[in-house]
Amino acid sequence: MPVAERPDDLWASVEPDQLVLSDPTGDLEEAALPMPADEFYLSVAPYRTFTHDCFFHSLTTCLGELGGETVQVTVTDGATGQTVLDETRTTYDNGFVGLWLPRDLTGTLTIAHEGDSTTSPVSTGDDDLTCLTTMQVA
């Protein structure tokens, strides 16, 4: 959903095992939906100049710098050396690209943008982050 169309009265946060829905006032009871047992959702906001700290991705409030940009995304399994994902993607208008990865993966993520690239270790276990905002493309 485009940033401008997102409701102000709903927060959605991605955790490794569940999607948590709540309202910003805390008046309504929080709801949670289970995530797939074999897949992990990792939201990545590559940046050039500015970023923000994050651990669990907020689908409604997190904003990255590079909205609507074409990036090359490559994920390599550290145990086998096999390429898990190798695709050209366009970041959403919030500056993020969403990746569905195998659960319990430890590997490397590379993002390339306009001739520059950045690489970061990634893990998709029960205690891992779902929002990666530390990949500066330079």
Q: Where are the domains of the chain?
A: 3-132
**For position 1, what pLDDT does the model report?**
67
| Cα distance between residue 82 and residue 134, in whole Å | 24
The pTM of the whole model exceeds 0.85: yes
**For position 87, what pLDDT does the model report?**
98
**Proportion of the chain above pLDDT 90, given as a percent:** 80
Q: Is the pLDDT of residue 6 over 90?
A: no
Neighbour count for residue 118 (Cβ, 10 Å) = 17
Domain 3-132 architecture: Sandwich (2.60)
34-to-14, 29, 90 alpha-carbon distances in Å: 10, 17, 27
**For position 84, what pLDDT does the model report?**
97
**Residues 94-123: tens digit of each pLDDT:** 999 999 999 999 999 999 999 999 999 999
